């Protein structure tokens, strides 16, 4: 099996910023409540005309440039998203066309907040087994398009953005382990009820606001802490490492209190945890890869460092991945 690593990263955030003060004018909430309960101060919101593939394109061009790879050299494109441009074709195929990456085969992965770790693990398998050489893995969301801006329980949480990683064979290090899990029995805790084959779009589903995210946050919160802690422990064990060996943890950014509770259970110091939730909120599939890209640019990730990615979300799905940079 070949060693596979991330050789380039990139990210894109839409220009418009929605602050907690802006939200105070839209729903019955306060900056104080949002900061204390979530850690979020602002989030980026895509323009009306900006689709997920448009954001993915910008992040991809940056990642390809940092990897010094041309779109024509890509063999595989995987887009992790729960907000595709449209039900079909896949956002990965739309992106392939924008990039003119004609050699690549392309598909989307739907695993919500764990989406990037799922897609990364799938791409790794293809390269490790020699099925392809270079892969582009994206996490992108336009969550603003499925957010109910009248529901204070959810609308204060989400943001839009895209992150991208180029994967290839590496001589040493790379992805040391990855652990994925799912529990479909708790799917109703976080869902968009309509718009699929169960409840196709109709006047009735639109009137009932069923095309927006519905979440039972309190119940999810407790599962998130336990599951992210467990996923981190398993991925580290598989890599033959312990928490003390980790240089930087890149957790899914759903709630600062979830992240800190997990850190406490794992006995991790706060300075080993990368946070961007304050400025971006929860961007589902895009959160971990945007955070990784920003951490690399800020010099928080050095050659030889042990990085732990850890995420949890709708499905339920979860995943953790250990990378030697």
Distances (CA, A) of 63 to 59, 89, 91: 6, 23, 18
Q: What CA–CA distance (Å, rounded) separates 70 from 198?
A: 41
CB 159 within 8 A of CB 45: yes
In angstroms, what is the minimal distance from the CB of 112 to ligand UT7? Answer: 7
Q: Which of residues 296-325 bind ligand UT7 (CB under 6 A)?
A: 312-313
Q: How far apart, in whole angstroms, are the C-alpha atoms of residue 178 and residue 231?
A: 9
Candidate list 254, 259, 277, 308; residue touching ligand UT7; CB under 6 A: 254
CB of 223 to ligand UT7, least distance (A): 8
Q: Does 190 bind ligand UT7 (CB under 6 A)?
A: yes
Our CB check for ligand UT7 shows the closer of 55 and 113 to be: 113
**What is the nearest approach in angstroms of ligand UT7 to the Cβ of residue 185?**
16
- Looking at residues 56 to 85 of the shown chain, list those that interact with ligand UT7 (rule: CB under 6 A): none
CB-CB contact of 138 with 12 (8 Å): no
Question: Which residues in the 3-42 window bind ligand UT7 by CB under 6 A?
Answer: 29, 33-34, 37-38
Give least dist CB 318 to ligand UT7, A: 10
Residues that are catalytic: 113, 252, 282
Nearest-10 crossing angle of helices 115-128, 287-297:
70
Instruction: Tell which one of 9, 51, 57, 224 touches ligand UT7 (CB under 6 A).
Output: 224
User: Cβ of 115: how many Cβ atoms within 10 Å?
Assistant: 35
- Beginning with the edge strand found earlier in the chain, give each strand of the sheet holding 248-251 in spatial order: 174-182, 317-324, 306-313, 248-251
Instruction: Report the interface residues with ligand UT7, using CB under 6 A.
Output: 29, 33-34, 37-38, 113, 152-153, 156, 190, 217-218, 220-221, 224, 254-255, 258, 282, 312-313
């Amino acid at each position: 099996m070949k060693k596979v690593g991330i050789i380039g990263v990139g990210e894109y955030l839409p220009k418009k910023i929605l602050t907690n003060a802006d939200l105070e004018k839209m729903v019955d909430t306060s900056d104080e409540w949002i900061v204390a309960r979530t850690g979020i101060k602002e989030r980026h919101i895509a323009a009306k005309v900006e689709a997920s593939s448009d954001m993915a394109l910008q992040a991809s061009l940056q990642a390809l440039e940092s990897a010094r790879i041309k779109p024509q050299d890509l063999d595989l494109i995987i887009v992790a998203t729960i907000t595709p441009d449209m039900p079909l074709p896949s956002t990965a195929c739309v992106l392939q066309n924008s990039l003119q990456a004609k050699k690549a085969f392309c598909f989307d992965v739907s695993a919500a907040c764990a989406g990037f770790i799922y897609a990364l693990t799938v791409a790794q398998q293809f390269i490790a087994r020699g099925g392809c050489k270079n892969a582009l893995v994206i996490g992108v969301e336009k969550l603003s398009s499925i957010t109910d801006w009248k529901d204070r329980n959810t609308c204060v949480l989400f943001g839009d953005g895209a992150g991208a990683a180029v994967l290839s064979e590496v001589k040493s290090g790379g992805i040391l382990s990855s652990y994925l899990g799912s529990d479909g029995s708790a799917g109703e805790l976080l869902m968009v009820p309509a718009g699929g084959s169960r409840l196709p779009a109709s006047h009735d589903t639109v009137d009932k606001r069923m095309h927006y995210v519905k979440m039972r946050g309190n119940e999810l919160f407790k599962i998130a802490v336990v599951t992210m802690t467990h996923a981190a422990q398993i991925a580290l064990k598989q890599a033959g490492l312990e928490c003390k060996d980790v240089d930087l943890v890149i957790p899914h950014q759903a709630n600062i209190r979830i992240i800190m509770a997990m850190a406490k259970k794992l006995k991790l110091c706060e300075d080993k945890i990368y946070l961007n939730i304050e400025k971006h909120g929860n961007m589902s599939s895009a959160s971990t890869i945007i955070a990784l890209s920003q951490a690399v640019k800020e010099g928080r990730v050095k050659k030889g460092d042990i990085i732990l990615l850890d995420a949890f979300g709708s499905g339920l799905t979860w995943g953790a991945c250990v990378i030697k940079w």
